[in-house]
Amino acid sequence: MKKYTITDGELSSVIELAIGAAELRKEVQMLRKQLEKAEAHSQPYYQLCPKCHGQGIVSKPPLLAGDVNEWTGSESSYPCDVCNGAKTLLVK
């Protein structure tokens, strides 16, 4: 088994790194607790659907690309694929 010798300078560097790691762990724990408290107090809210603007329907089929201006279809309106016709979205 090979033996290693550590100089005083190396030892102090290792100790400083260990202390820094312990401080970072404490800070991460504190931030996690703060985040949990903030999430517990935040209230979900509803917003109008950004695609159909609260109408629940759109004039273009849901799976059609946005840059397509002509298509063949028998329906004049389609349910919104973002809100599924609910007109609002729950935001947390």
Q: Residue 83 in contact with residue 49, Cβ under 8 Å?
A: yes
Residues 32 and 10 placed together within one structural domain of the fold: yes
Residues 58 and 15 placed together within one structural domain of the fold: no
pLDDT at position 31 over 90: yes
Residues 13 and 28 placed together within one structural domain of the fold: yes
- Per residue in 3-40, is it b (16+ CB within 10 Å) or e — as a string? eeeeeeeeeeeeeeeeeeeeeeeeeeeeeeeeeeeeee
Residues 34 and 79 placed together within one structural domain of the fold: no
- Residue where the block lists tokens 């690309």: 65
Number of Cβ within a 10 Å radius of residue 68: 9
Of the candidates 51, 45, 63, which has an alpha carbon nearest to the alpha carbon of residue 87?
Answer: 51
Does pTM top 0.85 for this prediction?
no
pLDDT score, position 34? 92
Total of domains in the chain: 2
- Average pLDDT on 15-39 reads 91
Residues 1 and 13 placed together within one structural domain of the fold: yes
